[in-house]
Structure 1
Amino acid sequence: MRKLLRFSLVGFFVCFFIFLGCKEDEIVSSQKEDIAPILYYTQVSIKKENYRIFKEIIESLNDYHYVKKEINENFSKDVLEEYLKGLDFSKTSFFSFDIAEFRKHNFSLKKDTDNDVDYAYQIYNLFQLRKLERIFYALNRLEDGFAQLDLETDEQLETDFSKIDWPAGELERRELWRKILKNEYLQLHLSGKTDDEIKRRLIRKYQNELKRLKQTTSDDVFSMFTNSICALYDPHTQYMSPMVKENFDISMKLSLCGIGAILKDEDGYIEIVSLIPDSPADKSKELFPGDRIVGVGQGEKGEIVNVVEADIRDVVQMVKGEKDTVVRLEIIPVKSKNNQQTKIISIKRDEVQLKEQAAQKSIKIIKQNGKDYKIGIITIPSFYMDFNAYTKGESDYRSVSRDVKEILEDFQKENIDGVIVDIRGNGGGALNEAVDLTDLFIANGSVVQVKMFNHDVKCFKTSDVGNIIYGGPLLLMVDVDSASASEIFAGAIQDYGRGIIVGSSTFGKGTVQELSPLIQGVLKITIAKFYRVSGESTQYKGVIPDIEFPNIFQGSEMGEKSLPYALPYDTIKPTDFKKYTDLSSLISNLKEYSRKRTETDADFIALDKEIKHLDKSQSTLISLKESTRKAEVGADQAKKSEFDGSKQEESGQEKKDPFLRESINIIIDMIISK
């Protein structure tokens, strides 16, 4: 990379800051600026239709959100702070006098909403300029090499940016940039990378930042500002642009129409990461992981459009399309010796099933005290449902409850002794799917109560048929990432005494969202809270397991309670429900059996040591002195080696996953106890 030319951009910035009301002497720098930032700057302007969309969103929030907010001066201030946090979280771009100027503006969000949106775009455009300065500072310093970093100066960097303020001037801002670059160098240097490798990696990092900045569209800025307002209502209300909505639909129905290739942006090329099994791309036998797409054409004769350096989002849209249509890809095969060796392949698009994101099953046979126990394990990544097929009245629509029903019926044929349902990491999905899934284990009962924004309470119940699919020993595995629909399911199983919950406290998302169509895109808006049949909310608090496993994050604020503007925990009147059985005595015994096992289990011992080490070592202020940092890294690596060395070296899913292994032990204890 050639040395970047430098000259003063003061004249340009003076014009820009006078428009925002800043003084010339506040932005004069003692150092020369780079010519590159101004060459990369492109003003982003709002689309006319977004003014109408913005008004629609504000009206919907005022009329239908569960929380009624007063739009006043304090709310206006919060909107700005949320927007600035999203733009410049690390406080590396804006100056403190920029922030002071922004805070003079009052977002009315009532009458003059057009002016509010216009000002948000002005803020973004200044951010873009500031960010460009930051990127080209780093690129120029990297060209100069690392000698100027002075690795033995005893200084520190605060990594919790909420504890620092925006820089007061150019010298202070460049000092922050220098420290961040020094920290990035030290991280790679102490991991064994050479200076040449570090230089290449960091240049690529900042070039990618530059590329992402240039690819930011008017719709992206609109989404950022609009969601700064939505966030003040609760963490789960969100404006979804048409592209975001399309991805949401794909995640819910577990299918898309395209070729079935997972793509990534790598150094300006769109690279194939993997192929979805049985997809058109997989069946073609012409496309392979590592191949790079350089052009896309529509149909058998459509022009091949060059996509080198293109936004990956645009390329994805070009590759997807209607079923039975043809897309042509010009690729550089992974085995090509140079970038000039390309070939064009044609692939017919089709419906692609995302099978790896659907419910999965396995059976483990465990010998204990001379007897074999057959345990069925169901892993559920999400509460998916094909809404489009459902609303069209299609009888064979796909959903998690339907897939799990088939799995349970297969388990019955296998004469399994107990079932483990693993919903760790399951962030939720369709509320009615949580009800339908519970229906497979509980007959004729309420599952969840929903309190609407108008205070009406509705109770969702299982079907009236009364025939459960599985009535044997049941254990649910949960963790802090089990949220929403997962918590409805887990809460119902626990309240009815239908099974045992093990793991760590769940996320604590007890709110219901509705998709409200807009002129363009949709508003995902919180319209209700849900409550367990016991009357307790899972909101903020989550579901507390019957048997808790150690959690690497214990002591830290995780889940809903860590999110700004999360709605509070509360209770309502319980439903008239009847427990299947009182499991309190059994749970007490199972806890004791588990405690005795885990006290001598190498993996659990190592985890406990790691948790205690993290509790002592967590600090947001890090040293930038190489010798100090090297000693700290060495101590951490020694501790990690100690933890890893004490873990069990065994194979098999339940052996690699000590929590699953212990869950199998617990359900066998349940089976024996009964």
Structure 2
Amino acid sequence: MSNSSPMRTRLINALAGAGLLLLGGLATAAEPLPLDIDNLKPTREHTIASLNTVELLRRHHYNRIRLDDALSSEIFDTYLQLLDPQRSLFSAWDIREFEVNRYHMDDHLLAGNLEPGFSIHRRQLARAIQRSNFMLAQLDKGLQKINLDSDQNIETNREKSAWAEDDDALQLLWRLQLKDEILRLKLAGRDSDAIIDTLGKRYRNQQLRLNQTRSEDMFQNYINALAQVYDPHTQYMSPELAENFDINMSLSLEGIGAVLQSDNEFTRIVRLVPAGPAERSQQLSPADRIAGVAQGNEEMVDVVGWRLDEVVKMIRGPKGSRVRLEVIPASNPPSDMSTREVVLTREAVKLEDQAARSHILELEHEGQSNRVGVIEVPGFYMDFKAYRRGDPDYRSTTRDVRRLLGELRDDGVTAVVLDLRNNGGGSLQEATELTGLFIDRGPTVLVRDSQGQIQIMDDTRSGIAWEGPMAVLVNRLSASASEIFAGAMQDYGRALIIGEPTFGKGTVQSVQPLNHGELKLTLAKFYRISGQSTQNRGVLPDIQFPSRLDTAEIGESSLPRALPWDSIAPVSYRHDRQLRSLLGALQERHEHRTASHPDFVYTRARNDLEREMRDMTLLPLNEARRRTQQQDYESRLLVLENQRRQALGETPLSKLERNEQPLSHGGSRTAEEIAKDPFLAETGKILLDVLRLNLDEQLAKAS
């Protein structure tokens, strides 16, 4: 990939997208604020950094968008969304006052004038104080003064709702929001004293943070409103945030091993780092929300409403130390705020813990016993230090998989599954070299830069490490380098892609130092050798399994202003069409097998139930109605769970077990867990179908 700018470039294959910018702080009326809001103004360093950012985006971002009135309007809307995502701080009156800036944000930014953005932010700060005053005043009156028997409802998502007209309308909205918070805690089993204590601490903690707001925070939010209209992975990082960027918010070094993202007032888990403390605990799942953090045996600190970087600071810590998390499981219905506590010991994730590993599935298929090899590939890794010092035994994904393939062949397996579920990517070089194990030379991936120049990456080594039937098992958390490998296997017709549509991260980022902080911007896009982008759409499986992950919540397509899917001219490569000709028959056999399979039936039915709950736009603020609604959901879920258990010959439950793990979680597991994985077993049976159909075809030709 070429670029005319003398940039310090790092390829970033990260899952984290937008969401580092919410202020989310509240202030108190009980005491005068030590913070002088009017004194929060841009500095000379901010002005220079903003001008540099504007220039870099205009000249080097992949999109090459003009900074004009149309983009100005997008910046304006993005900024309001960042500052007030649920439209509960600004009034329509405020918005009408701000509107004078809608088509002039571009002019201000080109001139280095940051005052309009700071002015809007100062108003947000004042409104947050006003809201906090109101909430604490209502709590001071006691819960008995709050009517939870009304027929009122609250919108579950206000991102596109009308702004409250004035102060009176805002206060009505705040009353509804406070009632909703109280009901959620009531249904989670908290008594009145605990609710008052929890919400009081929440607002007082947020006040403390609000009083620590700096001009730096305002600048970071404002300049990111500009950066994020280009795409969600383009981001300004303050000097403090840039200092921590190398861990990319993954906490994988002396942390818990979880990629985090802001989700309105909560911190949400996007994925678990393979072999990290969070994954090994088997107590956390993608889309879980973190409501509290505590160090060791210290008191739990409510972190609802905190900025992501502040939550990350609390979770990170010395190796060997303990951190406790209060987690709202993703499996809860929208109105259920019940939590559980997860205790983790921080540690660095070692390369050997993330290494590829193999297993053998013993499968009964059409009356015969079969052995199918499984290779789990948690990430695309390479021991660069050992490689650079010339160590002939350096570890890498490709080297480990080549060795495992040899061992599986010696063990007499007839087919191989490469399990890339939850594989968030890694080394692009390794994705190319791993592709080379299954093809005899050829292109592997295309990289197109902002100038339209295309670099072709190739496998130049002859020879194939495995020629038998193969499947690549993927899910929504298979991203970046995983998608490059899976896309190449699908394009060459070398393997069946089975599972779920992948994440859709098909862009390349670079980090450019500024006079003040750094700018991460998108410079290029990945394309498959067929010319299709992996961006946004991901890799679509040949045979799709039901997913327990909500694609509206997880994946590139869920991020605001994600770059679109597109295609370019393909390169020349040799495509084997044999698998493609079998897809109809394979799909038919798969559907017949899983139509009554307990785990597949359960997953599809549960997805339908949770989709029904997510589609609810209003929640009642009547305690009895809310309880009935939650009990109905739980009773329906219990019926589904017991139907699955009875079909598997297991003992039915008398009550619902909360917080169970998704069935298709992938990751580091024992041999017993792997043997019980219904999705892995079905993938193996699909490969055995391939062998059967190929044999039938050969016999037909012979006759």
TM normalised by structure 1 equals 0.75
Q: 1:215 to 1:506 in 2, by over 3 A?
A: farther
Cα 1:537–1:215 change in 2 (3 A) is same
Aligned to 1:168: 165
1:291, 1:180 → 2: CA distance? 32
Specify the code of the residue in structure 1 equivalent to 2:158.
F
1:504-543 matches, within 5 Å, as 504-543=500-539
Q: Distance in 2 between matches of 1:524 and 1:372?
A: 53
Summarize the Cα distance change of 1:247–1:657 in structure 2 as closer, same or farther, 3 Å threshold. farther
Equivalent position amino acid for 1:635 in 2: D
> What are the within-5 Å matches in structure 2 for residues 146-161 of structure 1?
146-161=143-158
Distance (Å, rounded) in 2 between the aligned partners of 1:364 and 1:242: 49
Matched, 1:36 2:25: no
Contact 2:424 2:477 in 1 (8 A): yes
Alignment of 1:264-303 (within 5 A): 291=296
Decide which of 447, 450, 455 is 1:453's aligned counterpart. Answer: 450
On the 8 A contact 1:384/1:429 being kept in 2, the answer is yes
Residue of structure 1 equivalent to 2:192: 195
Q: Please, which runs of 5 or more residues in structure 2 have no aligned partner?
A: 1-27, 261-274, 278-293, 300-308, 325-345, 651-670, 695-703
Q: Distance in 1 between matches of 2:256 and 2:549?
A: 36
2:644 matched to 1:647?
A: yes
The answer to whether the Cα contact below 8 Å between 2:252 and 2:276 also exists between their aligned partners in 1 is no
| Contact 1:511/1:528 (8 A) holds in 2 | yes
Greater shift in the superposed pair: 538-547 or 175-184: 538-547
Aligned positions of 1:307-386 closer than 5 A? 352-355=348-351, 358-368=354-364, 373-384=370-381
Go from structure 1 to structure 2 and tell me whether the alpha carbon gap of 1:233 and 1:397 turns closer, same or farther (over 3 Å shift). farther
Structure 1 letter corresponding to 2:682: E
The 8 Å contact of residues 257 and 349 in structure 2, kept in 1 or not, is answered as no
Cα RMSD between the aligned structures? 4.1
**In structure 2, how many angstroms separate the alpha carbons of the residues matched to 1:201 and 1:575?**
60
Alpha-carbon distance, 1:467 to partner: 3.2
In structure 2, give the amino acid aligned to 1:156.
N
How far 1:117 moved relative to its partner?
Answer: 2.7
Alignment partner, residue 65 of structure 2: 69
Distance 1:104 1:357 in 2: 56
Q: Which runs of 5+ in 1 are unaligned?
A: 1-32, 265-275, 279-288, 295-309, 321-326, 334-349
- The answer to whether the 8 A contact 2:358-2:404 is kept is no
Alignment match, 2:684: 664
2:71–2:106: 8 Å Cα contact kept in structure 1? no
> In 2, distance between residues paired with 1:410 and 1:290?
44
Residues of 1 paired with 2:51 and 2:406: CA distance? 50
> Aligned in 2, Cα 1:446/1:642: closer, same or farther, shift over 3 Å?
same
Conserved 8 A contact 1:383-1:430:
yes
The answer to whether structure 1 residue 141 and structure 2 residue 138 are counterparts is: yes
Deviation at 1:601, TM superposition (A): 0.9
Distance 1:558 1:576, change over 3 A: same
1:620-648 deviations in whole A, cap 9, x for unaligned?
11111222222211211111111211224
Match of 1:471? 467
Q: Is the 8 A contact 1:508 1:542 kept in 2?
A: yes
* CA pair 277-592 structure 1, distance change in 2 beyond 3 A: closer
Deviations 1:252-294 (A, max 9, x none): 99974x69999x9xxxxxxxxxxx999xxxxxxxxxx963589
Q: What is the aligned counterpart of 1:591 among 587, 590, 594? A: 587
One-letter amino acid matched to 1:36: E
Equivalent residue in structure 2 for 1:222, among 219, 224, 227: 219
User: Does the 8 Å CA contact 1:41/1:128 hold for their aligned counterparts?
Assistant: no
The 1:34–1:100 alpha-carbon spacing in structure 2 relative to 1, beyond 3 Å, is same
Corresponding residue for residue 550 of structure 1: 546
Shift of 1:476: 1.4
Whole-angstrom CA distance in 1 between matches of 2:582 and 2:191? 58
Corresponding letter in the other structure for 2:421: R
Partner of 1:87: 83
Shift of 1:480: 2.9
CA distance in 1, matches of 2:323, 2:608: 50
**Residue 157 of structure 1, CA deviation:** 0.6
Measured against aligned partners, the alpha-carbon deviations of 1:292-318 in whole angstroms (never above 9, x if no partner) come to 589xxxxxxxxxxxxxxx967667899
Q: Is the 8 A contact 2:251 2:316 kept in 1?
A: no
Secondary structure, counterpart of 1:161 in structure 2: coil
Separation (CA, whole Å) in 1 of partners of 2:314 and 2:548: 39
TM-aligned CA distance change 1:311 to 1:629, over 3 Å: closer
Cα distance in 2, alignment partners of residues 354 and 573 from structure 1: 41
Correspondence for 1:131: 128
Equivalent residues, number = 581
Larger Rg: 1
CA distance 1:473–1:189, shift in 2 (3 Å):
same
Contact 1:51-1:114 within 8 A present in 2 as well: no
Task: Give the superposition deviation at 1:67.
Answer: 1.4
- How far 1:391 moved relative to its partner? 8.8
Q: Pick from 488, 493, 496 the counterpart of residue 492 of structure 1.
A: 488
Q: CA deviation at 1:360?
A: 4.3
Deviation at 1:615, TM superposition (A): 4.4
Question: CA 1:439/1:88 → structure 2, altered by over 3 Å: closer, same or farther?
Answer: same
Q: What per-residue deviation string (whole Å, max 9, x for no partner) do you get for residues 524-545 of structure 1? A: 2222222221222233332221
Query: For residue 38 of structure 1, what is the amino acid of its counterpart?
Result: L
Kindly tell me: are residues 254 and 171 of structure 1, through their superposed partners in 2, closer, same or farther at Cα, counting changes over 3 Å?
Answer: closer
Contact 1:152 1:626 in 2 (8 A): yes
Give, in angstroms, the shift of residue 599 of structure 1. 0.9
- Tell me if structure 1 keeps the 8 A contact 2:594–2:601: yes
Contact 1:480–1:558 under 8 Å retained in 2: yes
- 3-state SS, counterpart of residue 441 of structure 1: coil
Q: In 2, Cα distance between the equivalents of 1:454 and 1:49?
A: 30
Deviation at 1:490, TM superposition (A): 1.1
1:667 partner amino acid: L
CA contact (8 A) 2:29 2:132 kept: no
Indicate conservation of the 8 Å contact 1:156/1:621, yes or no: yes
